[in-house]
A and B are shown apart, each in its own frame.
Chain A
Amino acid sequence: MRPKLELLDNRLIDRILGEAFQLIENPGVRVAPYVVELLRAAGARVTDGVAHIPETLARRQLALAPHEFYLYDRNGKAAVHYGGDDVHFDPGSSCLNILDPETQQARPAMAADLVRLVQVAEMLPQFAAQSTAMVCNDVPPEIGDWYRLLLVLWHSEKPVVTGAFSASSLHTLLELLAIENGSREGLRDKPRAVFDVCPSPPLNWSEFASHNLVDLARAGVPAEIVSMPLAGATAPVTLVGSVVQHAAECISGITIHQLAQPGAPIVWGGAPAIFDMRTGKTPMGAIETAMLDVACAEVGKYLGLPTHTYMVAGDGRVIDAQVEMESGMSTVLGALAGINMISGAGMLDFLACHSIEKLVIDAEAIASAQRLIEGIEPRSESLAIAAFAQAGLQGDFLKLKETRALFRKEQHFPSAVIDRGLASCGAAPDIVGRARERVEELLAEYQRPSSLADREQAMLNFAEAEGGRAGLEGLPGISSTASATR
């Protein structure tokens, strides 16, 4: 059996959904003018920018949302399955800062940092997808969103979790993806990216978020709702109250999205957190935050929808025992909850900072969690009798053929980041040192995936033209490698 974590029973989920449906009708949901006609035409009342969505309408649209879909890699191969209890991880996204590899102090992230992170994540099988992990401070802010996507597409072949910074720039990101794919139709058939779209708590689909929902649906590119109730501040203080708000935000978002394009792929996702009543911070490493993550996803799974959440992040400002305790705990809980995409690895300091060293440490926690959800399975007819028949009371199990045949299935072997006393495992006495060595090893092994030269050239032409308009000089993070493809 596969081990599973559940925090809600079906009766409570029904109550949560019942209240969520009530909330989207009354008090309703704030929406942007862009979606008012769409909602009115479907039977919702919209007054003063607030949509009152009847339960019947919302349920009809929920029934249209697909229960599963795939993200594809650079070669058009299905690589990430959103649906069921499949669990995938990707690095956290949109950080402004990075822990400098040398000093381990936070500093603004640059394009070169994002490239390093992408290359390391590319080498780690624990990450099924990449993310547009950092905002590059050496790139003009107005092109920051599509440029970081360009860097990920350029240096990786994995699917990407991304997002636009404005209503209009979404179209630039979609154009870039279409160029990489070969066509708009190709992008719709085999999307490589999923876009995070964030409602503003409580119950507000802003101009930017409303546009993104509708435009993604019409482009046929998957949208991932990232609902962020902060329990006690922008949402009810009880965990279950915040789960209700999360459900109401997701349901209203899916309603708008499915009205724009029935059957378009969408994810029941989020980044909920508690609001620390002493500091006003939103601790991602708090156990209650993890409980919210699990419970919110559980409601989505109950509806049969693909799920996402934000876990594997710690709150301390450096890589230390606190950060890794928090990250490790939530990694295990997220995996046990069967959440389809779990974002957040590599992040610390309340999601304000990324660390490539932490990313490789988190990869070890993820590998352990992946082993955990494989569970304990009988591997032969006899569980132990046959082994004892051979080993007897001398207990020499090490010599048995069965041992040699099965130990690789039974045991996960961590990298040298985890100190198990292996003599050849680097000289660094502490985990940050070992992580740093591992990063260098992975970077040394990394090779940029090849792609069709004409598409790469089209991406470069696009980047140079768009970047030039924003005053970008050269193509940071690409220029050194681009010449080889020309």
Chain B
Amino acid sequence: MTAATAHGAAVVEPAESPLTPESWGKLGMWIFLAGDAVGFGTLLAGYGAMRATSADWPNPYEVLGINLTAIMTFLLICSSVTMVKALEWLGKGDRRRAINFLLYTAAGGAIFVSLQAYEWTHLIHRGLLINGNPWGASLFGTSFFLVTGFHGLHVTAGVIYLVSMVRWVLNRPDPAASYNGVEILGLYWHFVDLVWIMVFTFLYLL
């Protein structure tokens, strides 16, 4: 087959350059993330449409409060940094430091989800429910829980993904052998951070 390519098709019509020479997995993750982003984009566009057509939409940052959420945003940004540091150490061949940073990242995600659980409990006690609230349009609660819940689910999945990848890296004695896998994991984790930047702006700040 190689001979045929070399003598035939490749000469007449050069083969397409590979999208990601290092890994098809990276392309796969990007395509998955694009699909996932359409899901989040649809949720946020729907949120905008519901809010624009509502006469009594509550003022989000007065109802939800943004102090805790600002800390959560900062936490996710920090966890993105520990994620890139993990990959950097793996690239330098230091598996132990890389694993430490992967665990810091997982801890950041776990704290984020815990803070979100605390925030939800607090808001539910104040009367924000999925089907109504004391401040105005009932869809406010519906969309809030739907969007932040969908994102929280992604963070939870990310923490599980991170912890299972720690095992995966440990099973490979050569750090270079796990570089691609950890880079793909990083793509997912940064995507979760990126989506939170949008969610924080649209649901809390606007």
Q: Do A and B come from one complex?
A: no
Instruction: List residues of chain A with CB under 8 Å of any chain B CB.
Output: none
**Chain B contact residues, CB within 8 Å of chain A:** none
